[in-house]
Structure 1
């Protein structure tokens, strides 16, 4: 782990590297001077001040396992990776990348796509031969973590447009370099905490999931008897970061996320991959009880008649990016609502319910 150096500049980030992306700020001035009662006029820098972040940057030369340990030790789900040889951020590294890396290493019998990049081919070669893999090769191998950067003056509208797609986090730059990271959760927590300041968000949050037309997505789920490895493969296949674990009657007993791979990587307990999902969830509950001194039994579902605000509060309370939607209490899940859905509902011109 290393802390951000003052040598890293916004210019480096915006103009260098294969997976570096800079948001266009050409329309920034047209929003200047508008009041904050429209949440999307809040500058990104204000959220960093509220969050009191300790910025963590991963050295691109360290092995994937060490990078994963950095995430675990700092209690974060993602961090930017700096390639000192190229003097650029090469991507974000998160648990989805860890899962992709683990699956690649366990798939020796699967032929490699010839159209894959040289970096990915080298990662596969090293992983399958059990050699250390520099994390700079694994950053964004899931193709979900490009390094997007914005300036601290950038308004949340531009960030929300990214968060309404497949992007979950962006870097915030100032004149000295990387100032912090804003994620979907960072913005939603800020809005939820300051909801009285934003009448437009209040109005949307007061509507039910059914009224907003949410809760119609097909769910991805496994039975509790499925192995953890099968669950991870299913998530990778369907391009989701979480799935529901069901009991024999179809009810939700747990939520399994790609971020749970940290319990496998911690002390390298790879045998857990071949345990059932129910056993794995029990193991996690036990470990969390030891670490926190209490059991964690978050509720993962909401009713179709629940308000979006209630669903958002549930996600914040459980530190989740989604909640499952059920027709009745203790009933089987019928759909899912994600933070991405929330951004689509509250962002102007993306909300289909707006006139």
Structure 2
């Protein structure tokens, strides 16, 4: 629950939104392309087992899919796909075995996923077919809206060499983090043109906060204890439509987070073939991908990015603009008691109005 007093004026909000909208509308996806870098794509005929290991070894949560028969990029494979595979096999009493992963290609999984997602979508929204992508000449605003409206983490930037779309070139994977970095860089030395930047986040209608007692409009914040099962964490990620869950102790003090991308840690030493989702705890699952000397996320700067309710919006935006950071957890000063969470999508929905 946010403080109701001394909120920023609606006029200042609109002035700031107009400046940001103008900047995003006049800059293109080309501004996101790094001078150096690589983009990894996977062939749709690759076995799921190999794809799982590639994502883990490369430290990436998503990769575009290439169909050599059609000569096109046809989709993406993400950490969410592996979560859905785990849950689907679990629902049929199967483990994520070497055999199951070896005999299923990415293409076969994607075809089966279409029916699965139709069954899962209780909101009645149509299942998105094909590849959601952007062109290098698309404005940053269009790219951001495409990410928000389709509820995806990244959008491939693809340049076609001919009018019929043949010979496509994969240039980059655009994310809200990259777009936010452009905003922060542009306005860093002219923050006076954005009145909202110096406002404390508690004074802005932003993010999800732990509701106070008696608040009928409060939305519950999804949190789990470290001894909860990995199965419960994966179910919550899917059903609550969130990308990360704060892991807290019995007093709701922050210990760590479990994110969709953490699922790829099960590829380490073939852990997926050795565990049962209901028997492995979140704490055990997180240890697979962490240094054994540092069992909780406070020692990993990217895992548990925190802020205080008194921190400015600019400070939160600067942190979210760092690669690999997708949400900031709001904690109470001194105690690390979880008070809320602000994601990249929360910031963009606020900035774009």
For residue 196 of structure 1, what is the aligned residue in structure 2? 188
The DSSP-based 3-state class of the residue aligned with 1:147 is coil
Give, in whole Å, the separation in 1 of the partners of 2:230 and 2:222: 14
For residue 138 of structure 1, what is the aligned residue in structure 2? 109
Structure 2: runs of 5+ lacking an equivalent: 1-19, 118-126, 162-167, 210-219
Give, in whole Å, the separation in 2 of the partners of 1:131 and 1:315: 37
Give, in whole Å, the separation in 2 of the partners of 1:277 and 1:145: 33
Question: Quick one: higher RCO (CA 8 Å, sep 6+), 1 or 2?
Answer: 2
Structure 1 residue 324 corresponds to structure 2 residue 324: no
Structure 1 residue 296 corresponds to structure 2 residue 270: no
Equivalent position to 2:205, from 210, 213, 216: 213
The DSSP-based 3-state class of the residue aligned with 1:106 is helix
Q: Deviations over 1:123-166 (max 9, x none)?
A: xxx99966521112335946789622222111111112123331
Give, in whole Å, the separation in 1 of the partners of 2:193 and 2:347: 10
Equivalent position to 2:64, from 80, 93, 105: 80
Structure 1 residue 260 corresponds to structure 2 residue 265: no
Q: Deviations over 1:204-235 (max 9, x none)?
A: 43222122211335311111111222211221
CA contact (8 A) 1:81 1:136 kept: no
CA contact (8 A) 1:92 1:145 kept: no
Q: Could you state the TM-score of these two structures normalised by the residue count of structure 2?
A: 0.72
Q: Could you state the TM-score of these two structures normalised by the residue count of structure 1?
A: 0.72
For residue 27 of structure 2, what is the aligned residue in structure 1? 42
The DSSP-based 3-state class of the residue aligned with 1:232 is helix
For residue 120 of structure 1, what is the aligned residue in structure 2? none
For residue 25 of structure 1, what is the aligned residue in structure 2? none
Segment drifting more, 153-162 vs 322-331: 322-331
Q: Give the superposed CA RMSD.
A: 3.4
For residue 60 of structure 1, what is the aligned residue in structure 2? 44
Number of aligned pairs?
295
For residue 312 of structure 1, what is the aligned residue in structure 2? 317
Segment drifting more, 36-45 vs 174-183: 36-45
Segment drifting more, 137-146 vs 96-105: 137-146
Equivalent position to 1:233, from 216, 219, 235: 235
For residue 85 of structure 2, what is the aligned residue in structure 1? 101
CA contact (8 A) 1:201 1:346 kept: no
Structure 1 residue 172 corresponds to structure 2 residue 166: no
Judged with a 3 Å threshold, the aligned counterparts in structure 2 of structure 1 residues 51 and 260 are, in CA distance, closer, same or farther, namely farther
Give, in whole Å, the separation in 2 of the partners of 1:202 and 1:40: 17
Structure 1: runs of 5+ lacking an equivalent: 1-34, 111-125, 290-294, 351-355
For residue 21 of structure 1, what is the aligned residue in structure 2? none
